């Protein structure tokens, strides 16, 4: 798959991704310079939850569906079903999480995207290894 | 950031340029929990309509997932 060099190509690739993976949620496409993506932090696989008025209630630099679901259940229950007479206040938290990686599955997706994706990712891995070794 | 480095042609070069470190900082420094995030108009893929993020966060929370692949 070639990189995004025109907005039309970006749109076409978004359609392809939608159709190949069967995404049913609304997909909003950013402009070619990634204005919204860069404003929201520029990471590749983020999830943000924005409550009424755009208030940020959750931000994660990796998407974990189970975490998102658990958070929403807890957050909405607390926000909507406040026990009468009980006071509650908000507080904030920042946490570190871990994720499992599946190298085999990842490699399959790279292959689907083309030989250059495989080759360039392998080169990037060498850079990460060299960097980690100092 | 210019168009070419955002829409990079080669993943390994993108990494060699230190793009990841930049993104990690950008994520931390963007809108904070508890703050109001900025509203933007975007193109909705399925019908080509211009929609605003605030159309989605009016009555219930919006879960906004960003996606990218090499």
Q: Report the C-alpha gap between B63 and B57 in whole angstroms.
A: 9
Taking chain B (70 residues) in runs of 10, the rounded mean pLDDT of each run is 82 90 92 97 97 97 92
Please indicate if any CB of chain A lies within 8 Å of the CB of B47: no
A56: helix, strand or coil: strand
Chain A CA closest to residue B5:
A33
- String of b and e for A108-134 (b: at least 16 CB within 10 Å)? eebeeeeebbeebbeebeeeeeeeeee
Average per-residue pLDDT for chain A: 93
State the CB neighbour count (10 A cutoff) for residue B21: 9
Q: Give per-residue pLDDT as tens, A90-102.
A: 999 999 999 999 9
Nearest to A57 among B29, B61, B65 (CB): B61
Nearest to A54 among B22, B26, B36 (CB): B36
Q: Give per-residue pLDDT as tens, A27-74.
A: 999 999 999 999 999 999 999 999 999 999 999 999 999 999 999 999
Helix (H) or strand (E) holding A65: helix A65-80
CB contact under 8 A, A53 and B36: yes
Provide the whole-model pTM. Answer: 0.92
- The position carrying tokens 């007479």 is A85
CB B68 within 8 A of CB A45: yes
Q: Report the C-alpha gap between B57 and B21 in whole angstroms.
A: 30
Count of H-run helices and E-run strands, chain A: 5, 3
Cβ contacts (< 8 Å) between B34 and chain A: which residues?
55-56, 90, 92
Rounded to a whole number, what is the distance in Å from the CA of A98 to chain B's nearest CA?
16
Question: How would you classify the pairing of strands A55-60 and B41-44?
Answer: unpaired
Write down the pLDDT at residue B12.
Answer: 92
A4-10: long-range contacts at Cβ-Cβ below 8 A with a sequence spacing of 24 or more?
Answer: A4/A32, A4/B7, A5/B7, A6/A32, A7/A31, A7/A32
Number of residues in chain B: 70
Write down the pLDDT at residue B30.
Answer: 97
Which of B 25-44 lie inside 8 A of A, CB atoms?
A: 26-40, 42-44
Rounded to a whole number, what is the distance in Å from the CA of A94 to chain B's nearest CA?
9
Q: Output the CA–CA distances (angstroms, integers) from residue B16 to A129, B6, B11, B22, in the order listed.
A: 12, 14, 9, 12
pLDDT at A5 exceeding the cut of 80 = yes
SS3 per-residue string spanning B28-59: HHCCCCCCECCCCEEEECCCCCEEEHHHHCCC
Q: How does DSSP classify residue A84?
A: T
């Amino acid at each position: 798959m070639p990189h995004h060099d025109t907005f039309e190509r970006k749109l076409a690739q978004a359609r392809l991704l939608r159709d190949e993976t069967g995404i049913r949620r609304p997909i909003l496409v950013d402009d070619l310079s990634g204005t919204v993506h860069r404003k929201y932090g520029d990471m590749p696989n983020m999830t943000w939850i924005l409550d009424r008025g755009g208030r940020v209630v959750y931000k994660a630099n990796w998407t974990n569906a189970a975490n998102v679901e658990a958070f929403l259940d807890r957050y909405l229950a607390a926000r909507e079903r406040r026990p009468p007479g009980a006071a509650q206040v908000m507080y904030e938290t920042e946490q570190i999480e871990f994720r499992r990686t599946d190298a085999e599955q990842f490699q399959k997706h790279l292959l689907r995207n083309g030989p250059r994706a495989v080759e360039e990712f392998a080169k990037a891995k060498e850079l990460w290894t060299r960097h980690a070794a100092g | 950031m210019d168009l070419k480095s955002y829409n990079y042609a080669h993943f390994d070069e993108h990494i060699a340029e230190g793009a990841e470190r930049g993104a990690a900082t950008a994520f931390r420094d963007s809108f904070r929990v508890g703050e109001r995030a900025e509203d933007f108009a975007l193109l909705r893929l399925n019908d080509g309509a211009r929609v605003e993020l605030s159309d989605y966060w009016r009555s219930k929370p919006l879960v906004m997932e960003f996606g990218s692949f090499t």
